[in-house]
Amino acid sequence: MAQKPLMVIYYNDNTLPLSSLTSTPYTDVILAFTVPENSQSTTLVLSGNLPSTSDLKADIATLQQAGIMVHLSFGGAIGLDGQPINYTLLSQNVSSVADQLAAFVTEFNLDGIDIDYEDTDALMNGTPYDGVSFASDLTNDLRTAIGTDKIISHAPQPPYLWQGDSNIPYAQILANTGDSIDRLYMQYYNNPWYVTPVSQIIDNYTAIVAGWSGFSGIDASRLLVGKPVGQGDAGSGWISATDIGEEIITPLLAAQSNFGGVMGWQYSSDGPGGPWSTTLPAYLWPS
């Protein structure tokens, strides 16, 4: 039996209360982010865009009681001090990073960890460190630390898993980690070559599921289409919720019985009664 497609959202702004998600159709929320406290540290802390610790714990419990899974995202591009995250330093302390993420899972009773790893040079060119090894080792160490009942997701950009490129880092990462990555939230935005026309998204999604020479593909249930919710949430790739439903969800649901669903950046552009909340459910879960 095919699984129900997921509707996932990143929460990165206290403009709307986290608890208000209980009045939306989202199946999962990803708290963004946990990052190093500064560019010379490997100590991870929660970003200032999230509620205080006590409020966060209460909100997480409320969401889970409403049937919404709660995850914490690690990474992104910018650290707490406003400087680029020093992934080179983190790559030298992989086990520590994994242990700290596992500690967050325990402390906040999270349903999983999302790895939003953004270091193109390291991933595509292996400089100044091996990005494929870092992402693979972090995933495997984290899986050991949190067990098999928690979800590990990654949020790669399309160039990292595109069959037309000579170097396909996420094909290697998936091979290195087996089934440890439960979900891929493909960021079909801020990458103009991979977002226009919309058929490019369909082609890329279909190719990832089917696989190609040297890559066996993945089940569609593990692959979600990521899009910006609001026009100002990304530099490129925004289309209306109706267009997402008609041009992306509908054809993928028809072609893939196990279509994974959609991921949105970010909740502050939606909320109860927002464009995604009111429009996408009818496409994702047609009666």
Contact 204, 171 (CB under 8 A): no
Token pair recorded at residue 234: 């990304």
CA distance 246 to 249: 6
The pLDDT profile of the chain, 287 residues, written as one tens digit per residue, is 568 999 999 999 888 999 999 999 999 999 999 999 999 999 999 988 899 999 999 999 999 999 999 999 999 988 888 899 999 999 999 999 999 999 999 999 999 999 999 999 999 999 999 999 999 999 999 999 999 999 999 999 999 998 876 789 999 999 999 999 999 999 999 998 888 889 999 999 999 999 999 899 999 999 999 999 999 999 999 999 999 999 999 999 999 999 999 999 999 999 999 999 999 999 999 98
Spell out a b/e string for 46-81, using b for 16 or more CB atoms within 10 Å of the CB, else e.
bbeebbeeeebeebbeebeeeebbbbbbbbbeebbe
Contact 14, 47 (CB under 8 A): no
Token pair recorded at residue 257: 């019985």
Token pair recorded at residue 2: 């095919």
Give the chain's domains with CATH numbers: 6-284 (3.20.20.80)
**Residue closest to 248 by CA, chosen among 286, 198, 190:** 198
Residues for the chain: how many in total? 287
Instruction: Tell me if residue 234 falls in helix, strand or coil.
Output: coil
Instruction: Tell me if residue 264 falls in helix, strand or coil.
Output: strand
Number of helices and strands in the chain (H, E): 10, 9
- Give residue for tokens 């790895």: 115
Q: Model confidence over 80-112: pLDDT tens digits? A: 888 999 999 999 999 999 999 999 999 999 999
